[in-house]
Amino acid sequence: MEVNQSGFASVVISNPSGVAQTGAAGTAQLQLMSYNFTNPVSTEFVAGEQAVFASHTSANNNGTLTIYKINQSGNNIWVKKSNGVTQGAAAGTASVGRWVFVYSSAPATPDFTVGESAKMASHTNAA
């Protein structure tokens, strides 16, 4: 995707099944939503990772969503969401989907590889 190619107010996308536009132009919508906060969002929220949004007055604003960016033009978390709606009352909650498991000694690096899945079991809390 390219934005404002050659100085024109435009968005250029790749669409192998698209056809030439011969009439009036249509519309395009990124469907990017901003969850706004009173203070800057913690760096625990990282673009590309997921955050859990809950307890909003509109259920359309809840869910596990991939973070697009944080603290851009304000204290916020930006996500792509097709059915989100304007929040009319107090905001719900947002939490990171990342957990830290602390061990008494360093885990063996050949056993844990960044980017792979790990199965955790036998914890005091099954969640």
**Structural domain boundaries enclosing 38:** 29-96
75 contacts: CB under 8 Å, gap ≥ 6: 36, 37, 38, 39, 40, 41
Predicted pLDDT of residue 103: 81
| 74 found inside a domain | yes
* Residue 93 near residue 42, CB atoms below 8 Å: no
| 12 found inside a domain | no
What Cα–Cα distance (Å) separates residue 55 from each residue in 31, 62, 67, 78, 93? 21, 7, 18, 18, 6
Residue closest to 64 by CA, chosen among 50, 43, 80: 50
| 91 found inside a domain | yes
| 83 found inside a domain | yes
| 72 found inside a domain | yes
| 19 found inside a domain | no
| Residue length of the chain | 127
Tell me the pLDDT of the chain (127 aa) as tens digits: 677 777 777 777 777 777 777 766 777 666 788 888 889 999 889 999 999 988 888 888 888 989 999 999 899 999 988 777 776 666 788 888 777 778 888 877 777 777 788 777 887 776 6
Q: How far apart are CA 42 and CA 70, in angstroms?
A: 9
| 39 found inside a domain | yes
Strand partners, 3: 11
| 127 found inside a domain | no
Quote the number of domains for the chain. 1
* Residue 3 near residue 11, CB atoms below 8 Å: yes
